[in-house]
Structure formats: C-alpha cells, structure tokens
Amino acid sequence: MTSPAPRTGRLARLVDSDAFNITIAGVIIANAIVLGLETFPAVMESYGEQLIIANEVCYGIFVVELVLRFASYGKRPQDFFKSGWNIFDLIVIGGVWIPGVRENATLLRLLRLGRIARLLRFLPDARVLISTVVRSIPPLGSIVVLTVLILFIYGMIGWTLFGQALPESWGTVTRAMLTLFILLTLENFPTYLEEALTVTPWATVYFVSYVLVAAFVIFNLLIGIIISSMESAREREALREAQESGVTGDAVARIHAIREALDALEADVQILRDREKGSRE
C-alpha cells in the first residue's frame, strides 16, 4: 500500500499534533474502562444508563475524529484510503452503520473492541511490532516447510527406533511427529530421553542431534527473520514519518546512509578496543 502524499494546512497539523493524538488516546482508554465496567452485573444495575451514555459519547468523539482525519486530506481525499490505519478506523467506527451489524450483539462487541485496538495507532513502537509480524509471515512459510520436513524425517527415525517399545509416543509417524513437536520447546525432554534409553543407547545421539538441528537451528532462523523484518519495518516507519513531515526521499536516504556509516564506525572502534585489550593482556 502506497504512502499518502504529505499533507499541509491547519486541519492536517491539528490531527497530526501530539495534543490531538494524546486526547484521542485518552478517550480510547476511557472507552476501554467503560466496556470493562459493563461486564460487571452489579455495576450495570447501578450505573447502566450512565455507562451507555459514556460509551455513546466516546463513539461520537471517534466519529468526529474520523471526519477530521478524512477532511485533512483536502483536495486529495483518496489518499485517506492509502493508510491501513485509516481503513481500520473506518471499519471499526463506521461498521455499526452497516445493515444488520447494529442488531447483532456479537459483531457490535467486536467493533467496540476494535476501537480499543486503535490505541496501537498512537504507539510508534507498537506499529513497528505489528508491521514486523505482518512482514514476517511470507518468509515463515519456508520455516514451516523446513520444520515439517525435519519432524517427518526424525519422526520416521523415531518410529523405527522406539515404535514397538513405546507405541503411545512413537507408535506411528504422526504420533512421533507430535512428540517431536512438543520437544521443540524442550518440554519433558528428560522424561522422553529416559524412556528412549531403556530401548536403545542410540537414543542419546537421536535426541541430542534433534535438539541441535530442530530447536536451535529453527529458532535461530526464526529470530533472524524477525530481526530482519523489524529493521525493515523501522525503516518504513521512519520513511512514513518523514513523508508526513514533508521531508524528501533523498534526505531520508542520506540520513539512512549516515546511520549505516555510524554503525560501521562503532563496529570498527569496538574491534580496535578489543585488539588493544588483547595486546595488553
């Protein structure tokens, strides 16, 4: 999804200001408290009408906020839909006007919870984390295929070694794969190892090699993908903030190059310090 063009004008400065965002975040928190209080029957019996009014007031503020954000795009209202957060706001706030939704209590509750999730919009670090999760999904497909392949191979070996003696855990390849999947978290590892050692002394080699290949290698690959996706998400977030503030793409590229040069310089300085420390010792 492309980024909207930089906005100008008083209304754009208003909806992007810290004071406006803090106010809306406060309303979201107040709305969350109201929704939480509605779950207590005793509170609803005593203050039910007040809570309903408070919820409607919060919703009215959200509607005004949405209208102001849409109007802040001025002569380019289509740019409003280039932001995923704007579309999310439109769904959770305007969704109650869809025929059949307002009469459906379950959908209405979900939309109300969606209003609370809008708090993430005002937390830059949370936006980066969400973007990291989304960008990590495509590479995770390869990790899933690799994991299933390792589980199948080791599952067949485990079935061959322990299938007859320990049918509950290794009796079929699916049971063996389920056991190995549980072992990915090293859950009950000593128990499974002790049971397997009663069958064959090769159990130690089998389990240790599996832990090294599956648990450590797969988790390290997963961590690497997440770190790479987080760096990419941070760059996209910085670019988005720069575009909204009117900074050109060339300036952002120069800033990024300076940051990379500083990181490389810090690494070189650390290497020199380590060498000096080693020579002194």
Domain residue ranges of the chain, discontinuous segments joined by +:
10-122, 126-247
Could you tell me the pLDDT band of residue 33, with boundaries at 50, 70 and 90? very high
Strands (DSSP E) contained in 25-168 are: none
CA distance 64 to 67: 5
CA distance 203 to 183: 14
What confidence tens digit (pLDDT) does each residue in 142-194 have? 788 888 898 999 999 999 999 999 999 899 999 999 999 888 877 788 888 89
What confidence tens digit (pLDDT) does each residue in 245-280 have? 555 555 556 666 776 777 778 777 777 777 776 666
Determine the pLDDT at residue 251: 58
Residue 236 has pLDDT above 60, yes or no: yes
Determine the pLDDT at residue 240: 62
Average pLDDT, the chain: 81
Which residue did the predictor score with more confidence, 44 or 16?
Answer: 44
Determine the pLDDT at residue 1: 45
What's the Cα-to-Cα distance from 281 to each of 122, 273, 275, 276, rounded to whole Å?
51, 12, 10, 9
Q: Tell me which long-range contacts 179-183 makes (C-beta under 8 A, separation of at least 24).
A: 180/151, 180/154, 180/155, 180/210, 180/214, 181/151, 183/207, 183/210, 183/211, 183/214, 183/215
Determine the pLDDT at residue 2: 47
Scored b (16 or more CB within 10 A) or e, 155-182 reads: bebbbebbbeebeebbeebebbbebbee
What confidence tens digit (pLDDT) does each residue in 193-217 have? 899 999 999 999 999 999 888 877 7
Instruction: Report whether CATH 1.10.10.10 matches the domain 126-247.
Output: no
Using CA atoms in the order 143, 148, 151, 154, what is the torsion angle rounded to 10 degrees?
Answer: -100
Q: What amino acid is encoded at 103 in this protein?
A: E
What confidence tens digit (pLDDT) does each residue in 63-90 have? 999 999 999 888 888 888 888 788 888 8
Scored b (16 or more CB within 10 A) or e, 187-201 reads: eeeeebbebbeeeee
Which of the four CATH numbers 3.40.47.10, 1.20.120.350, 1.10.3720.10, 3.30.70.980 does domain 10-122 have?
Answer: 1.20.120.350
Determine the pLDDT at residue 281: 59
Quick check: 238 and 252 in contact, CB under 8 A? yes
Quick check: 218 and 147 in contact, CB under 8 A? yes
Residue whose C-alpha is closest to residue 256's, from 224, 228, 227, 234: 234
Kindly state the DSSP code that residue 217 receives in the 8-state scheme: I
Residue 5 has pLDDT above 60, yes or no: no
Using CA atoms in the order 26, 28, 32, 38, what is the torsion angle rounded to 10 degrees?
Answer: 100
